[in-house]
Amino acid sequence: MKAFLKVMRALSDPNRVKIIKMLQHKVMCVCEMRAALQIAQPSVSKHLKILEDAGLVFFHKDGMWVNYQLADGSASPYAASLLGNLRHWLEDDSELTEIVEKLSSIRREDLCGR
Amino acid sequence: MKAFLKVMRALSDPNRVKIIKMLQHKVMCVCEMRAALQIAQPSVSKHLKILEDAGLVFFHKDGMWVNYQLADGSASPYAASLLGNLRHWLEDDSELTEIVEKLSSIRREDLCGR
DNA sequence: CTTATATATTCATTTATAAGAATATAGTGC
DNA sequence: GCACTATATTCTTATAAATGAATATATAAG
């Protein structure tokens, strides 16, 4: 039950749902998500840790960059199922579509270090 | 996004997951769930309200009895999906199987009014 | 109406969670 | 090693959520 609750809890926060929807479109680093969500960097890191613990995302380091992407679902059947469904869920949610639309204008070269 | 978060939050509490798994097997009244979960009656009522608001359960009154059962999913696509999956999820969870096994010995005639 | 029973709601308390400022850690380049 | 950048973690605070005791409400029976 622990793994199931972890996924449910991870997806109970609006900002974490936003992170998932963004990562459906683009691999991102922490400061890109910070800019997109307009929240403090520590909050982003903490959200990502929860998502990672739940098996919903994973990261690769590329130098000083830490790039996050959606997990493939191998870590948790619950994560796999929710990630699969979220591919088509909430696609018409205005708040989410607005954030996703703005992704094309978010580049780490313009943003990070600020 | 609100409806999605409601379902996620509703399923983030272990006792509420237990309620769902029990209702997979049997229509139940509040005091039967109170006995099965070994928690206070007000807590049961409050959990049920959250589950109902999320579209996961519904109730019928039968005289002074209020009987709860799993929703059919028509109120929320998210609830429908999670309820469908939970039919086979967590079936090997020891805590949950133990509670479900004890259901056969839980009868309101023996319990309520205590 | 009164009494009994089932359940919902309120109240007070405790625990969990989310936020940002501050700080620590990791990686890069000179 | 030092300075810079990206990110993780800690600390503090505010808010949300869970709990049970107490109380209110709904239904049944006499």
Q: What HEC string does chain B produce?
A: CHHHHHHHHHCCCHHHHHHHHHHCCCCEEHHHHHHHHCCCHHHHHHHHHHHHHCCCEEEEEECCEEEEEECCCCCCHHHHHHHHHHCCCCCCCHHHHHHHHHHHHCCHHHHCCC
A114 domain residue, yes or no:
no
Is the pLDDT at B33 greater than 90, yes or no? yes
A17 domain residue, yes or no:
yes
* Per-residue flag: A14 CB under 7 A of strand D: no
A92 domain residue, yes or no:
yes
Percent of the residues in chain A that have a pLDDT greater than 90, as a whole number:
88
B63 domain residue, yes or no:
yes
Q: What's the complex ipTM?
A: 0.92
- Average pLDDT of chain B? 94
B112 domain residue, yes or no:
no
Nearest-angstrom CA–CA distance, B106 and A59: 48
Query: Largest Cα–Cα distance in chain A?
Result: 43
Residues 1-30 of B with CB under 7 A from strand C: 29-30
> Tokens 């996924």, residue?
A7
Stated in angstroms, how far is B30 CA from D23 C1'?
18
Nearest-angstrom CA–CA distance, A4 and B50: 18
Residue numbers in A near B77 (CB within 8 A): 89
Query: Given strand B65-70, what is the order of strands in its sheet?
Result: B28-29, B65-70, B57-62
Query: Who's near A109: CB < 8 A, 6+ residues apart?
Result: none
A60 - beta bridge partners?
A67
B113 domain residue, yes or no:
no
In chain A, where do the E strands start and end? Answer: 28-29, 57-62, 65-70
Domain carrying residue A49: 2-109
Number of domains in chain B: 1
Which of B8, B15, B18 to probe by mutation at the A interface, max A CB count within 10 Å? B8
B114 domain residue, yes or no:
no
Residue type, B78: Y
H-helix or E-strand containing A33? helix A30-37
B90 domain residue, yes or no:
yes
Segment B62-82, tens digit of pLDDT: 999 999 999 998 999 999 999
Query: What global pTM score does this model have?
Result: 0.93
Is the pLDDT at A41 greater than 80, yes or no? yes
Give chain B's radius of gyration (CA, Å): 14
Q: What is the CATH number of the domain that holds B42?
A: 1.10.10.10
